[in-house]
Structure 1
């Protein structure tokens, strides 16, 4: 038998070393902070990272669906970040995105107003995120993503929009009219707000404030 070249063994050892350095699924899910306060309303002192922009736009076409009519608007069962019951979530106008049922009515109202003005729906790139997705984003993006179990997306109360929605004339309209429907770009995500610059994230503030009050 011919012995394998030494570079084969070296490559295998390097691959094993890299695998050992990666966090396990359990480690990735461990929360660095107390899960009580929503990420948007937490102290900004641990997020004083340089401002940076990131656009994770998914090339998924919008498809109007009768999702609003199918949404009960009722949140059932205990609310645990990243582990919301399916019955507590509603489909948005763009698949496969979902948000919490009690936030859906205002989101659809905002979308309808936007569509009347621009002839197209709000373009979405992210909404509710389960615990596993939050953990994966924390590993891949570091401090630019909330710790698993702390993301506003994990409460089903945050939506990320496409650049053609949060910039230009559409963005100006959204800044002026979003708060009328209860949706705001949180202060920490704005320029000079103390957190990473994220003009694409819009939160249903009533829901987040209620969580902060009851936690």
Structure 2
């Protein structure tokens, strides 16, 4: 779990309340790159991944998105069409996904993330790979334990 000094106001615990795009502020924690936030349990683990990434590459993982409210997801869907999930259906709305800047997911850094990310519970989902069931999104990464718990209904 992340060093508490890196997450001074984050419990690392998700209450289980709320709905997609409507999570309580108390269940969200700031990521290292403002203004992005995600669910507390997801932030605790990705902060550890970011520490390892920073040690390896000398700078933090560059983010371009985190948690999205239902209104933010609806606006993105309106702007991007089929490249964005409908409001209420994105794992961003559960605080379980981040989008990375191109320099973070390409080349050596991308290969490193694909190898090391799963150790911390983070992965670029199969649907987002070339030839997957969804749009090709190498920038989209999800907190796998949280996504699996949603799928299991827990």
What range describes the TM-score normalised by the shorter chain of this pair? Answer: over 0.9
Secondary structure class of the residue paired with 1:148: coil
Residues 52-91 of structure 1 aligned to structure 2 (within 5 Å): 67-76=6-15, 78-91=17-30
Give the equivalent residue in structure 2 for 1:198. Answer: 137
1:176 to 93, 115, 118: 115
Question: For 2:19 and 2:134, how far apart are their aligned partners in 1?
Answer: 24
Give the equivalent residue in structure 2 for 1:207. Answer: 146
RMSD: 1.2
After TM superposition, give the deviation of residue 69 of structure 1 in Å: 2.7
Give the equivalent residue in structure 2 for 1:186. Answer: 125
Aligned length, in residue pairs: 150
Structure 1 runs (4+) deviating above 4 angstroms are: none
Question: Which deviations, in whole Å up to 9, do the C-alpha atoms of 1:6-34 show, x marking residues without a partner?
Answer: xxxxxxxxxxxxxxxxxxxxxxxxxxxxx
Q: Name which one, 1 or 2, has greater alpha-carbon Rg.
A: 1
TM-score normalised by L of structure 2: 0.93
Residues 3-152 of structure 1 aligned to structure 2 (within 5 Å): 67-76=6-15, 78-152=17-91
Residues 159-174 of structure 1 aligned to structure 2 (within 5 Å): 159-174=98-113
List runs of 5+ in structure 2 lacking aligned partners. none
After TM superposition, give the deviation of residue 77 of structure 1 in Å: 5.7
Question: For 2:141 and 2:132, how far apart are their aligned partners in 1?
Answer: 14
Secondary structure class of the residue paired with 2:145: helix
Question: For 1:121 and 1:114, how far apart are their aligned partners in 2?
Answer: 6
Question: For 1:213 and 1:79, how far apart are their aligned partners in 2?
Answer: 17
Moved more, 116-125 or 133-142: 133-142
Question: For 2:7 and 2:19, how far apart are their aligned partners in 1?
Answer: 24
Question: Which deviations, in whole Å up to 9, do the C-alpha atoms of 1:75-99 show, x marking residues without a partner?
Answer: 2362300000000000001100000
Higher relative CO (CA 8 A, sep ≥ 6), structure 1 or 2?
1
Question: For 1:89 and 1:127, how far apart are their aligned partners in 2?
Answer: 10
TM-score normalised by L of structure 1: 0.68
